Amino acid sequence: MVNERISHQIGFNHLCDLPCIKLQFGNASAVISLYGGQVLSYVPKAEEEVLWLSPKATWHNNTPIRGGVPVCWPWFGPADSRLNPMQMSLPNHGVVRTMLWQLTEQRCNNKYTRVVLAVTVNGLPYHSDSVTLQLTVTLSDTLSIDIACADKLLQQVALHSYFNIPKLEQTLVQPLPQHYLDKVSGKSMMGTTTTAEFTSEVDRIYQQPADDIHIISANTRVHIKQHGHDATIVWNPWQDKSRHINDLADNNYLEFVCVETARLQLDTAAPLQLNQTLIADY
């Protein structure tokens, strides 16, 4: 008999006082932090963690949690001038990563376990009305993460997923467009392959990527299905940058890669709906 369950818990891993929700579907589980509306764990079967959480992650003092699947909204990275017309000092990756989200809906049946969270932002630097963002997490034989906003406004969004990997030097992300923006050099690049490998710092924006991408590392494989996107970001800070990031240990860069599903266009004010679905093959 399938075991479907939704439960509230305080704490996850070393974040001992963090308010969380745990989803269970058969042998699979997922943990979501109400702080940031952030999926922290996806275990498709016993002891096989797909996502990575920094051992130095914290959530107090308005600090975003490093790891899992952070929600970056309504801007990605530093706020574009169109989203910050007064040139205010604003946090990277938006404002909802350090807000408490509310559970608005939950459902269990023999096909899936699902929760819906929502957060309302009362005024943005470029939009004075309140705006509600909704996160839907569905656990079945896959993990599906949907982020949606019905308001018609300029907005960017990214699911900034950190994936747990056994061997960075054996890790590939594919297929990707050959053309990408290299944020390390600040240049537009044309690669020779459709595969990203990790032999130095990688920080790339791939525009118009495929709907299906694979992370292959040693004996693991994660299939990422994405919809509503116009970009995929691939990131690993490498050794030097890791040493200067407070919530990373020096060698943590060997343990994860970020493959992020994003919508980055700012040409048109529009509602958004973005999906990233994870299928693990261990």
Tens-digit pLDDT profile for residues 31-46:
999 999 999 999 998 7
Domains of the chain (ranges; CATH) run: 4-281 (2.70.98.10)
Checking if the pLDDT of 224 tops 90, the result is yes
Residue 3 confidence (pLDDT) above 80: no
Helix runs in 197-236, H state only: none
Write the pLDDT tens digit of every residue in 114-163: 999 999 999 899 999 999 999 999 999 999 999 999 999 999 999 999 99
- Can you point out the beta strands (E) in 109-219? 113-124, 127-139, 143-153, 157-159, 162-164, 171-174, 179-182, 187-190, 202-207, 212-217
Predicted pLDDT of residue 280:
92
pTM above 0.85, yes or no: yes
Tokens of 94: 């938006």
Strands 28-33 and 15-25: antiparallel
Q: Supply the pLDDT for residue 1.
A: 42
pLDDT in tens, 43-86: 998 778 999 999 999 999 999 999 999 999 999 999 999 999 99
Q: What's the pLDDT score for residue 89?
A: 93
Average pLDDT of the chain, as a whole number: 95
Q: How many angstroms separate the CA atoms of 109 and 140, rounded?
A: 10
What is the average per-residue pLDDT within 205-219?
Answer: 95
Give tens-digit pLDDT for 253-280. Answer: 999 999 999 999 999 999 999 999 999 9
